[in-house]
Structure 1
Amino acid sequence: MEYRTHGDGAGTVVVFHGGHVRAQLALGEDVFTDAGFRVLIPSRPGYGRTPMTAGATVTDFADTIARLCRDREIDQIAAVVGISAGGRTALTMAARHPDLVQRVILQSSVGFLPWPDRRTRLGGRIVFHPRVEAVTWALLRTAIRFAPGPALRLLTRDLSLLPVDQVLAQLSAADRATLTELYASMRSGRGFVADMRPVADCTAHISQPTLIIATRNDRAVPFAHAQSLAAAIPQAELVESRADSHMIWFGSDYPAVAAKIRAFLLADHHTVCGT
């Protein structure tokens, strides 16, 4: 199994990335390391160098990560973080290992409502099929290299309910460059097709405090997923981001969202440490 660690804090946060991403692609980690935590990021099954055999189901992979943590002598995880399609893995791990996982943070997370929509499911099985996805991403990287503007429009269109020109106009030059570099580094492997399979709803077994962050402008994961999770998890708090798209880290209010994440983590840390 492929995984990466970042930071040197005493506490550990485990991040489950979203679709088309792997452990080597960093996104939104600084909020955790800046708060004094070490981050452990595994590539989920089918992504990067993690084979599908590392977790035939979300439940299996959650158990695999719990074993990895204990092998690394991590007896407490300050939070599991689920990003987009990785949200159900984070929730499943929290439900199955409440003695290990202290809190849950969900960012633009898929819940247990039907997902994705029919068009994405049918199209995704074709263009992101394991035998085809390398060609799909090679074509997209070529488009990004030779026509970055139109390519960014194409890739952003499915992430927002707002007009794509409006979304892109709000991005700084640095954010556009970061987002373009992220897209150019994506691969689907066998992971994305697996992500579209149903996962058993475990919300009734989530006892940990849970912070849910989502935006109503998200086309990739409808806001209803966040609402349903907030309604089902007893200690859940829903924070509504004002971001223009699924990529909440590029929203104008992300500094405030990041402050909320840090407060959520540090309150837990202080309680555990008795300070």
Structure 2
Amino acid sequence: LSLTLQSAVTKEWLTKKDKEYKAAQIMFHPNVEKFTWKLVALLNNYFPTFTFRCFIPSFSKLSSKEVMLQIDKESIEAVRRMNNHYRSGHGFLIDLVQINQLSSTTLQAVICPTFIMHSKNEGAVPLEHAYFAHSKIEKAELCLLDSWGHLIWLGDKASGVNKKVVSFLHRN
């Protein structure tokens, strides 16, 4: 038994004071989220590179130009396919509430080997979350990546990320 945390939220994240939290309450409300995802899919199907570029500031601290140097057409196509299947129902709003109820005690209760992977250029989940989980989970191994941002399984560093995960799983 083992656990991997990839770009994971591990402590208080978005709160009611944050503009992202407020926007998510509207965009991902169960009565609206279906239309939100359909709009994203529509834009993404017609303009995949443009849509990907629009999301870069949410996913990476790097400039759009720097990110696009690390992203290939296959990665943009993977995002396009992924966005065509998204539906969150009540899920994302539940996540916003529950993640802020996560405590140090919860993380300290994790007793299995844990592999924490986080990009140094992460734009969605601050790097402090990886350090926090590493400090609370006894058998945790921290792997900081030089990948472009949040979606660490995409881009020119993806094969290296996959090898690190497989190596961890083989060891544990």
Query: If the TM-score is normalised by the length of the shorter chain, which range does it land in?
Result: 0.7 to 0.9
Change in Cα spacing, 1:227 to 1:241, as seen in structure 2 (3 Å) is same
Measured after TM superposition, the shift of residue 227 of structure 1 is 0.5
Q: Which structure 2 residue ranges, 5 or more long, are not aligned?
A: none
Counterparts of 1:259 and 1:173, CA distance in 2: 21
Counterparts of 2:70 and 2:153, CA distance in 1: 13
Residue 136 (str. 1) matches residue 36 (str. 2): yes
1:116–1:221 contact (8 Å) kept in structure 2 = no
Measured after TM superposition, the shift of residue 142 of structure 1 is 2.0
Q: For residues 1-275 of structure 1, what are the structure 2 equivalents within 5 Å?
A: 102-112=1-11, 114-116=12-14, 118-197=18-97, 198-201=100-103, 202-268=106-172
Between Structure 1 and Structure 2, the one with more strand by share is 1
2:41–2:80 contact (8 Å) kept in structure 1 = no
TM-score (ref. length: structure 1): 0.57
Q: Which structure 1 residue ranges, 5 or more long, are not aligned?
A: 1-101, 269-275
1:242–1:252 contact (8 Å) kept in structure 2 = no
Give, as a single letter, the amino acid of the residue that structure 2 aligns with 1:228: F
User: Which protein has greater RCO, CA pairs closer than 8 Å, 6+ apart?
Assistant: 2
Q: Cα deviation per residue 1:38-80 (whole Å; 9 max; x = unaligned)?
A: xxxxxxxxxxxxxxxxxxxxxxxxxxxxxxxxxxxxxxxxxxx
Over the matched positions of the two proteins, sequence identity in percent amounts to: 28
Change in Cα spacing, 1:210 to 1:222, as seen in structure 2 (3 Å) is same
Give every structure 1 segment of 4 or more consecutive aligned residues whose post-TM-superposition deviation is greater than 4 Å.
none
2:28–2:36 contact (8 Å) kept in structure 1 = yes
Measured after TM superposition, the shift of residue 252 of structure 1 is 2.8
Change in Cα spacing, 1:133 to 1:237, as seen in structure 2 (3 Å) is same
Name which one, 1 or 2, has greater alpha-carbon Rg.
1
Q: Cα deviation per residue 1:192-247 (whole Å; 9 max; x = unaligned)?
A: 01110123320121222111000121111111100100011111110011111100
Counterparts of 2:107 and 2:23, CA distance in 1: 29
Secondary structure class of the residue paired with 2:62: coil
Give, as a single letter, the amino acid of the residue that structure 2 aligns with 1:125: Q
Change in Cα spacing, 1:163 to 1:265, as seen in structure 2 (3 Å) is same
TM-score (ref. length: structure 2): 0.88
Q: Cα deviation per residue 1:138-180 (whole Å; 9 max; x = unaligned)?
A: 2222222333332222233311111123212321111111122
Change in Cα spacing, 1:115 to 1:144, as seen in structure 2 (3 Å) is same
Change in Cα spacing, 1:145 to 1:254, as seen in structure 2 (3 Å) is closer
Which shows bigger deviation, 212-221 or 163-172? 163-172
